[in-house]
Structure 1
Amino acid sequence: MSKIFLTDTTLRDGSHTVSHQFNPDDVMKVAAALENAGVNLIEIGHGDGLTGSTINYGFSKYSDFDLISAASSVLTKSKLTVLLIPGIGTVEDLEMVRKCGAKAVRVATHVTEADISEQHIKAAKDMGLFTVGFLMMSHMASVERVTEEALKMESYGADVVYVTDSGGAMLPKDVAAKIGSLKKNLKVPIGHHAHNNLGLAVSNSLTAIEAGATYIDGCLSGLGAGAGNTPTEMLIATFDKMGYEHDGNLYKAMDASEDVLKPIVEGKGLKLKTNSNSLMIGYAGVYSSFMLHAQRAAARFGVDARDILMELGRRKAVGGQEDWIIDVAYELAHK
C-alpha cells in the first residue's frame, strides 16, 4: 500500500460553514495546529476559491491574499495550498498568492470542462507550484468521461488529478469505478475529495484508497459545504486502524478540532459539534459508557483520558469492568 497524503480544507471548504468569516488570526491558529498534526497540504482561502469573495458567492471580511500571507507566516513543513476555479480566479491572482507564500494550487473545473484548466495548470507549473487537477461534481459524468477529462489535466502537467464528489452524491461503487479507471489510465497520482451528504464520506474515502487513490481530503470536525467534508480526525483514525502509511497524528488532530477550531467557530456565534468522544471510543474499541468514567479518572490522576481508553482497548475491557479505569489511570500516572 502506497503512502497516503492528507489535504485539509478547513480553511477553504470549511469557510462555507462560517460564511467565509475566518480572519488572519483564525487562519494562523488553525494552520499551525494542522501542521502540528502532520497534515501534508493545508488549503486556504474563500470557499469558492481565489477571489471568490463576491456578491454571487458571499463576501469575506478579508482578502485571500491576507489570509494566505497569515498562513504562510506559521507554516514551515505543510504545503500551503489554494483552490482556483478558472473564471473566478486568474493567472494573475495565482502569481500574487505565490508571492504571498502558496506552494500548491488545485485548479478546479466542472467534471466535463477540463479544457478550461489548461492555461492555469501550465502557468502554475511554470511558477513552480505543486499543481492538482480537481474535477468537481464527478458524479455527473460516466467513468469514461471522467477518465477522458482527467487525461487532459494530466497532459497539461497536473501532478495529481482528483475525482471530486462536490455534491456528496457518489456511492462507494461509483468511487471505486472512477478512481479505478483513473488509476489504470493515468501515470500521475489520484486523489479523492468527499462530502458527507449521504453519510458516506469516510467510507468513500477508504474505497478511493482501495481503488488506488493516494491523496485524500478532510476538514476538522467535518466542516464544509452541504453536510460537510470527511472529518480529518476520523480519516487519521481510520488510516491508523487500516495500517496505512501516513503522517497524521490522531491526538493532535483531535486537539486541533476541539481546542483550536471549536472556540473560533463558536466565537462567531455558531455551534460546532465535535466528535472527539465518539471517535475515541470507536478508535480504542471500548464500551461507550467508559468515556465519562475515563474523563473523571484522567482529571483525578492528571493523565490523558484518551490514553486510558487506549489501554482499556488493549486489555479488551468490556462493560462491567469499569473498575479497571481507575487501575489504568493510576498506572499511567506512575509511569
Structure 2
Amino acid sequence: MDQGTQEDAVTIRPVTIHDPTLRDGQHAIRHQLGRDQLRRYAAAADAARIPVVEVGHGNGLGASSLQVGRAALTDAEMLTVVREQLSHSKMAVFMLPGWATTHDLKEAVNHGVDVVRVGAHCTEGNTMERYLGFLRDAGVEAQSVLVMSHMAAPGRLAEECRRLVDYGASAVGIMDSAGHYLPEDVSERITAIAGAVDVPIIFHGHNNLGMAVANSVAAARAGATIIDACARGFGAGAGNTQLEVVVPVLERSGFSTGVDLYGLLDAADLAERELMPKPPTIDSVGIVSGLAGVFSGFKNPVLDAARRENLDPRDIFFELGRRQAVAGQEDLIVDVAAALGRSRVDIPDPTS
C-alpha cells in the first residue's frame, strides 16, 4: 500500500445509517402504512444493506390513538411483517414515555426487535431511566434521543446525554424535531455531547429549512456516528434527511456507511412509488414550522385546525412557537386555533 492509500484509509470514518422511513414517514400519511408497503420497503432496505430499519406508528410504540392518529396496523402486526423481511438489517422501534409502557417494550422484544430508541423532551431525560434500565436488563440495545433539542443549550444537552449513559443508554443523541437548525448549531451541540460521553452519538434531522443533509454531514464531522435518514425524505412536516442523498454525500466526505448504492436507490424509488402520494416538499407551512421551532409532526393537525377555524396555519405555527409547544402537546393546537379565532372576531373591522 502506497503512502497516499494509507492516508486515505486513515481518513475514512464509519457511520451507521439508521432508517426510520417506516416510522417517521407515517406522520406524512396519518400513520396508514399497510402490510404490503411495510413488507416491500423492508425487503428493499435489507437488500441495500441499510444497517438499521425502524418501524412503527409515527409517535412510536403504544401511540396509536385518537389524539395523534390511529395506525392502520397494530404495533405487533407491523413488527411481525418487518421482522420477516430482515436478514441483514437490524429492526428498531421508537418509544416515548407517556405513550409506551414496559408492557409495550416486552411485546416488542418478544417480536424480535434489536434496537429500541427511547425519546423524551430535551430537558426531561430523567423520564427515560426506568425504560433504559428495563432494556439493559433484557439485553436489548437501548438508545436515547432528546427531541426538540433546539430548545436547550449545548451544555444542557451534553449534561442530559451524560445522565442517559449512566441510566444505561448504549448510544445518545439529538433530534432536530422542528427542522430549526443550521449546520453551525448542529456542530456546536454534537461537539458538546462528544466531550461529555464515550458512546456513539446520534443525529436525526428534518428538512424544514432545507438544511437536513448539510446538518447531518456537520453532525458526522463533529463526532456523530449514527445518522438518521428516510427514503425520499419521507417524514413529518417538510420531511427528514433524504437517505439516498445523504449516504453518497457522506461517502464523498470521507465516511463509510456500508450501504449498497444501487440497492439504496432502488429502495428510494420503491418508497416514492409505493409509500407516499408524493415526496415531501419544503412548502410555506414547513418553512414557518422550522422558523418557529415547532415539532414537524404538528403539520397535519395544524392544517386541520386552520381549516376548521378559517385561519392561516402560519399564524397557528408562530403562536405555538411563542408558547414553546413541544411534541406530545397536540391538544394545544386546538386551543391555540380557538384562541386565534376568538381574537379575530373580537378585533373591530377598521373599514366598517
Task: Give the 3-state SS of the residue equivalent to 1:161 in structure 2.
Answer: strand
Contact 1:9 1:218 in 2 (8 A): yes
1:82 pairs with one of 85, 89, 93: 93
- Once the two structures are TM-superposed, the CA of residue 262 in structure 1 deviates from its matched residue by 2.3
Task: Give the 3-state SS of the residue equivalent to 1:204 in structure 2.
Answer: helix
Task: Give the 3-state SS of the residue equivalent to 1:8 in structure 2.
Answer: strand
1:114-129 matches, cutoff 5 A: 114-129=125-140
Task: Give the 3-state SS of the residue equivalent to 1:234 in structure 2.
Answer: helix
Contact 1:196 1:228 in 2 (8 A): yes
Runs of 4+ in 1 over 6 A off after TM superposition: none
- Aligned partner of 1:38 in structure 2 is 49
Task: Give the 3-state SS of the residue equivalent to 2:92 in structure 1.
Answer: strand
Show structure 2 runs of 5+ residues with no match: 1-11, 282-352
Once the two structures are superposed, what CA deviation does each residue of 1:114-145 show, in whole Å capped at 9, x if it has no partner? 00000001111111111111100110001111
Contact 1:106 1:134 in 2 (8 A): yes
- Aligned partner of 2:278 in structure 1 is 271
Task: Give the 3-state SS of the residue equivalent to 1:101 in structure 2.
Answer: coil
2:68 pairs with one of 57, 64, 78: 57
| Alpha-carbon distance change, 273 to 155 in structure 1, aligned in 2, over 3 angstroms | closer
Tell me how far apart the structure 1 counterparts of residues 278 and 225 of structure 2 sit (CA, whole Å): 33
Tell me how far apart the structure 2 counterparts of residues 271 and 215 of structure 1 sit (CA, whole Å): 27
The AA in structure 2 aligned to 1:111 is C
Tell me how far apart the structure 1 counterparts of residues 278 and 221 of structure 2 sit (CA, whole Å): 35
- Aligned partner of 2:175 in structure 1 is 164
- Once the two structures are TM-superposed, the CA of residue 101 in structure 1 deviates from its matched residue by 1.5
Matched, 1:236 2:247: yes
Contact 1:265 1:272 in 2 (8 A): no
| TM-score (norm: length of structure 1) | 0.78
- Once the two structures are TM-superposed, the CA of residue 240 in structure 1 deviates from its matched residue by 2.3
The AA in structure 1 aligned to 2:246 is L
1:107 pairs with one of 118, 125, 136: 118
- Aligned partner of 2:203 in structure 1 is 192
Show structure 1 runs of 5+ residues with no match: 275-335
Once the two structures are superposed, what CA deviation does each residue of 1:25-70 show, in whole Å capped at 9, x if it has no partner? 2111101111111211110000001011101111112101100111
Task: Give the 3-state SS of the residue equivalent to 1:17 in structure 2.
Answer: helix
Identity %: 37
| Alpha-carbon distance change, 273 to 148 in structure 1, aligned in 2, over 3 angstroms | closer
1:72 pairs with one of 83, 104, 107: 83
The AA in structure 2 aligned to 1:182 is I
Once the two structures are superposed, what CA deviation does each residue of 1:1-24 show, in whole Å capped at 9, x if it has no partner? 531000001000011112111112
Once the two structures are superposed, what CA deviation does each residue of 1:151-183 show, in whole Å capped at 9, x if it has no partner? 111101101001111111011111111100111
- Aligned partner of 1:306 in structure 2 is none
Tell me how far apart the structure 2 counterparts of residues 78 and 265 of structure 1 sit (CA, whole Å): 20
Contact 1:236 1:249 in 2 (8 A): no
Contact 2:233 2:280 in 1 (8 A): no
Two-structure CA RMSD over aligned residues (Å): 1.3
- Aligned partner of 2:226 in structure 1 is 215
1:10 pairs with one of 18, 21, 41: 21
1:129-208 matches, cutoff 5 A: 129-208=140-219
| Alpha-carbon distance change, 117 to 24 in structure 1, aligned in 2, over 3 angstroms | same
Contact 1:190 1:213 in 2 (8 A): yes
The AA in structure 2 aligned to 1:53 is S
The AA in structure 1 aligned to 2:50 is V
Task: Give the 3-state SS of the residue equivalent to 2:120 in structure 1.
Answer: strand
Matched, 1:98 2:105: no
Once the two structures are superposed, what CA deviation does each residue of 1:248-272 show, in whole Å capped at 9, x if it has no partner? 12221111111x2223235xxx233
Tell me how far apart the structure 2 counterparts of residues 256 and 145 of structure 1 sit (CA, whole Å): 38
Once the two structures are superposed, what CA deviation does each residue of 1:68-98 show, in whole Å capped at 9, x if it has no partner? 1110111122110000101100111011011
1:251-290 matches, cutoff 5 A: 251-258=262-269, 260-265=270-275, 270-272=277-279
- Aligned partner of 2:339 in structure 1 is none
1:273-312 matches, cutoff 5 A: none
- Aligned partner of 1:330 in structure 2 is none
Task: Give the 3-state SS of the residue equivalent to 2:256 in structure 1.
Answer: coil
- Once the two structures are TM-superposed, the CA of residue 273 in structure 1 deviates from its matched residue by 6.8
Matched, 1:226 2:237: yes
The AA in structure 1 aligned to 2:275 is V
Once the two structures are superposed, what CA deviation does each residue of 1:178-227 show, in whole Å capped at 9, x if it has no partner? 10011111011111000001100000000001100000000000010011
